[in-house]
Amino acid sequence: MQLSEFQRQIERIYFERDNARGVGGTFMWFAEEVGELATELREGKNKAALADEFADVFAWLCTLASISGVEIDDAVRKYAGGCPGCGHAPCDCSEKN
């Protein structure tokens, strides 16, 4: 599944409810999912549970993008040429900052 296809799927499932909730309320749900991902990363025992949490975080990120009018495909182009700061892959500017 391409990123844009995933974003459309999340819109079909959740857009109406998430849009009605608004960016602020939806962001709070996103933050909660990031916390659940953090817990799974810290515990690191169950790869399936960890994969589920990554999927949940990405789904909430996509719904936030959708209700904000942002296409995920467009957003990720920021990194198409490598590091946005230095243009290299791997980045060689992080050690300098």
Superfamily (CATH H level) for 3-79: MazG-like (1.10.287.1080)
Model pLDDT, residue 94: 66
Contact 24, 65 (CB under 8 A): no
Q: How far apart are CA 62 and CA 14, in angstroms?
A: 10
Tell me the pLDDT tens digit for each residue of 36-73: 999 999 998 899 999 999 999 999 999 999 999 999 99
Tell me the pLDDT tens digit for each residue of 72-87: 999 999 999 999 999 9
Structure pTM? 0.89
Domain boundaries, the chain: 3-79
Split at pLDDT 50, 70, 90, the class of 97 is: low
Residues whose CB falls within 8 Å of the CB of residue 65, separated by 6 or more in sequence, listed in order: 7, 71, 72, 75
The whole-number average pLDDT for the span 17-41 is 97
